[in-house]
Structure 1
Amino acid sequence: MRVSLDDRNYSEKRDFIRMQLQTRAILEHAGRQYPALCLDLSSSGMQLEVEVALAVGDRVRVLIPSEHSALSGLEAEAEVVRIGRNAEGVHSLGLAIIDLR
């Protein structure tokens, strides 16, 4: 039996559009900063790759500097809601945005 996109359960569809990115970021946790790569961003969350191990429920701060002097960067308080790890040992963090500044 083939399942089309129209047959998918509505709950599987995202409520927010995610912008695909490949931009550097800084992850702050427990008073330390770690270099990170932001893979995607939406109004409710983001996905980062980082080499530090965190736990679901950890609160973090994410800084995405602007590459343009006329634009300010993004600063967000977020909570880790999902963790993955690739073959190279890099952690993929799914973050829920709590507050944007």
Structure 2
Amino acid sequence: MSQRDYSEKRDYIRMRIDTDVSLVHAGQVISATCIDLSSSGMQVEAPKRFQVGDKLEVKIDSEFSALSGLEATTEVVWIADQPGGAQKFGLRILQMK
């Protein structure tokens, strides 16, 4: 990763949310945890393994009936394997729905 890539990553405010998220990949729904969220992407931890470049549909339900949840098409941009076979990964938001 170049220094420019790193500095651009930090140009976005990240909000730590630790909330449930549903991922859809190849017709399969996977329950995961969204660790943090920014205007351009999110960090997620899931029990299923993905590859860089995979496209995932993401849905985060709102706890408040007056607010809609988040639905987006995303792409896996980095992966970090975790103990027990889980994976943390970064998702770039391609399109909000």
TM-score by length of 1: 0.86
Alignment of 1:89-100 (within 5 A): 89-100=85-96
Alignment of 1:2-21 (within 5 A): 12-13=6-7, 14-21=10-17
Q: How many residues end up aligned between the 2 structures?
A: 93
Tell me which amino acid in the other structure corresponds to 1:12. Answer: Y
* Counterpart-to-counterpart distance in 1, 2:5 and 2:77: 18
- Residue 88 of structure 1: CA displacement? 2.8
* Counterpart-to-counterpart distance in 2, 1:83 and 1:11: 16
Tell me which amino acid in the other structure corresponds to 1:83. Answer: I
- Residue 85 of structure 1: CA displacement? 1.4
Tell me which amino acid in the other structure corresponds to 1:29. Answer: H
* Counterpart-to-counterpart distance in 2, 1:96 and 1:90: 19
> Relative to structure 2, which stretch is displaced further, 51-60 or 9-18?
9-18
Instruction: Tell me which structure has the larger Cα radius of gyration.
Output: 1
Pick the aligned partner of 1:23 from 19, 44, 49: 19
- 1:42 correspondence with 2:38: yes
Tell me which amino acid in the other structure corresponds to 1:74. Answer: L
Stretches of structure 1 lacking an aligned partner (at least 5 in a row): 1-8
Identity level (%) = 47
Q: Which structure's residues are more often helix, by fraction? A: 2
TM-score by length of 2: 0.89
Partner of 1:75: 71
Stretches of structure 2 lacking an aligned partner (at least 5 in a row): none
Partner of 1:6: none
